[in-house]
Structure 1
Amino acid sequence: MRITDIVAVDIEHETRRNCALLPYQQVLIALQYYASGTFHIIVGDPLQISQSTACRSIHRVSTSLAQKIDDFVKFPNNAEAQGIKDEFFQIAQFPGVIGCVDGTHVWIISPHEHKVDFVNRKGYHSINVQVICDANGKWINIVARWPGSTHDSRMLRSSTIWNIMENGQTSGYILGDSGYPCRNWLMTPLLQPHGAAEQRYNSSHKRTRVLVEQSIGRWKRRFHVLHSENRMRNPENTCRVIAATAVLHNIAIDLNESLVDDIEPGQQQPHLLEYQGPHNGHRERSVFINTHFND
């Protein structure tokens, strides 16, 4: 009912002509689809509605939720950042962290156009999604528009977050894996740590950044449409569903909705591609390690 209240104005039909579905019925259909990822005709069976009606309901609810993403997925400003830094510090004593970034692939069927662009490094068609989470596992940024062949570092470089952090609009650090460039604000792990300080840095970095991997796992487990093959032929519709489930993910955390079948740390697929481009944050990282991890 909370979700229905959020989208009702956008999805309510003007009349009940032809037994038009009520807002809460459309929401139930969409939630069934997000949770199962199954065929639309199967989703519509409990209400005895046609495949086309189920498809329209899913589209209307997804569009409404996606349009409201800025109300639920918000990157912190400087005033909000300090509280996030304190919460992250409690995890593994890594100071100054405002978010953890990662990419994840959402499997799709072969689109009608630009098929090759959507083939990822594992050989299947997908949308590559960038997510950044806070210390509670909520999304504070999501980019869901890039085809599967796009590298994570390119997505980040092309995002508004890159400009925000490069220009110093929000102070703090974002933690990324070795697939990202080391920047003054983007802390990546050392590939060959030397000495106790660097090892402590890597350990703290790993224990903190694993939160984004766990959050992706919970997100996909709650909304199986992100985990199984998405059967929408149009990638734009898939991106709309991804955005809608991101909103629902944050709402679930706000409402303390538990996920019984949870995941254990480290179950996400590790990043296999090391970033090969230029870095400009190595000096910043060395000073940071000497300041915070050197006894």
Structure 2
Amino acid sequence: MKKVISPDCPDCDRPEDIHHLLVECVRNEAERWEIFSRFPILRQVGGCNGALSQPLSDEIFFYSRFYKKFGFPGVLACVHGTHVALVRPSEHEERFFNRKHYHSRNVQIICDSDLNIFNVDATFGGASHDAYIWRQCALNQHVQELHNNGENLWLLGDSGYPLRPWLLTPIVNAHPRSPEEHYTNVHCRTRNTVERCIGVLKARWRCLLVHRVLHYDHHTVAKIINACCVMHNMANRARLAVPELSQTDFEAERNQQEPHGQPQYGPSESQLLQNGRQQLATIVQRLWRNRT
């Protein structure tokens, strides 16, 4: 493996390459994030099991970038799911057969305002809904804890995600020229960041396009997806040009991705939903007052 930096690891005198730093040597979460601070392009790519637990100064950096670009306050990141097709698996086929009637992994992507992926979860099959994957993600719990500690920050998701004080969704069928419509327009413009991120990811690594079915077992497919996300961040950091997708590829991809639908709220979620509506109403009025 190519060395990232020249010195050997001070702890065990082995070459200090990326794999050694993140897998063989790092012993705890604090050390892991110290490593990520030295290699920002690798910032939490590889699944939700490690969870985002960056210092608060990093969180402030992320949501200030969104505000400067789009005028939407408090946005830490944007979240979205995308399907990557694979051949029929030999085990647990029902977990991978999605609503578009092909086998896939439903990949959760979370990105910053510069289209860098700092969290990817490729562990779920295509039968899993975006909202279900988000509920299992440790980042969900982390952002909830930040909210409970008084931090006014949130992620943006489409209407397939459950509304929460820390996860804001668009207002469906808002009245024309109303504060709610203005909020939804700003929300969609900001949240489109993650859709553009996924588009760039798949334009660079076209094996991830739905009609380019991956002929590997589902475990290998997950590793391929994670590797492509790491290389996507490397390409962004190097400011490499993004190849254009043909209209045929673009249409095929759009037609084979699932519609997001609407989340189902259980009785135990009523208070969280109410709190989310209150938070959303506050943001609606703030954006309406600050409109130009």
Provide, for residues 226-264 of structure 1, a one-character-per-residue CA deviation record: whole Å limited to 9, x for no partner: 1110000x2111101111111111111111111142699
CA distance in 2, matches of 1:256, 1:145: 29
Is residue 2:124 matched to residue 1:146?
Answer: yes
- For 1:196, the equivalent position in structure 2 comes to 178
Q: 1:64 to 1:118 in 2, by over 3 A?
A: farther
Identify which of structures 1 and 2 has the higher relative contact order when contacts are C-alpha pairs closer than 8 Å and 6+ apart.
1
Tell me the C-alpha RMSD between the 2 structures. 3.0
Q: 1:250 to 1:273 in 2, by over 3 A?
A: same
CA distance in 1, matches of 2:66, 2:102: 35
Equivalent residue letter for 2:168: M
Q: 1:247 to 1:66 in 2, by over 3 A?
A: farther
- For 1:215, the equivalent position in structure 2 comes to 197
- For 1:276, the equivalent position in structure 2 comes to 264
Partner of 2:124: helix, strand, or coil?
strand
Equivalent residue letter for 2:187: H
CA distance in 1, matches of 2:131, 2:20: 30
- For 1:242, the equivalent position in structure 2 comes to 225
Q: TM-score, normalization: structure 2?
A: 0.73
1:61-76 mapped onto 2 (5 Å cutoff): 71=36, 72-74=42-44, 75=52, 76=54
Answer with 277-286 or 174-183: which moved more: 277-286
CA distance in 2, matches of 1:215, 1:274: 23
- For 1:5, the equivalent position in structure 2 comes to 3
Answer with 166-175 or 265-274: which moved more: 265-274
Equivalent residue letter for 1:283: Q
| Cα contact 1:65–1:244 (8 A) shared by 2 | no
Is residue 2:290 matched to residue 1:288?
Answer: no
CA distance in 2, matches of 1:64, 1:225: 28
| Cα contact 1:226–1:242 (8 A) shared by 2 | yes
Deviation at 1:65, TM superposition (A): 12
1:253-272 mapped onto 2 (5 Å cutoff): 253-261=236-244, 271-272=259-260
Deviation at 1:292, TM superposition (A): 3.0
| Cα contact 1:137–1:215 (8 A) shared by 2 | yes
Provide, for residues 35-70 of structure 1, a one-character-per-residue CA deviation record: whole Å limited to 9, x for no partner: xxxxxxxxxxxxxxxxxxxxxxxxxxxx99996998
Deviation at 1:174, TM superposition (A): 0.4
Deviation at 1:159, TM superposition (A): 0.6
CA distance in 2, matches of 1:66, 1:240: 16
Partner of 1:105: helix, strand, or coil?
strand
Q: TM-score, normalization: structure 1?
A: 0.72
CA distance in 2, matches of 1:176, 1:135: 14
Q: 1:171 to 1:271 in 2, by over 3 A?
A: farther
Is residue 2:215 matched to residue 1:231?
Answer: yes
| Cα contact 1:65–1:243 (8 A) shared by 2 | no
Partner of 1:257: helix, strand, or coil?
coil
1:125-140 mapped onto 2 (5 Å cutoff): 125-140=103-118
Provide, for residues 73-109 of structure 1, a one-character-per-residue CA deviation record: whole Å limited to 9, x for no partner: 3344321122222211133211111100000011000
- For 2:29, the equivalent position in structure 1 comes to none
Partner of 2:3: helix, strand, or coil?
helix
Partner of 1:88: helix, strand, or coil?
helix
Q: 1:187 to 1:270 in 2, by over 3 A?
A: farther
Deviation at 1:117, TM superposition (A): 1.5
Q: 1:127 to 1:260 in 2, by over 3 A?
A: closer
CA distance in 1, matches of 2:141, 2:109: 16
Aligned length: 237
- For 1:160, the equivalent position in structure 2 comes to 138
CA distance in 1, matches of 2:173, 2:124: 31
Q: 1:237 to 1:155 in 2, by over 3 A?
A: same
Q: 1:248 to 1:148 in 2, by over 3 A?
A: same
CA distance in 1, matches of 2:235, 2:123: 23
Q: 1:146 to 1:64 in 2, by over 3 A?
A: farther
Equivalent residue letter for 2:288: F
Percent sequence identity over aligned pairs:
29
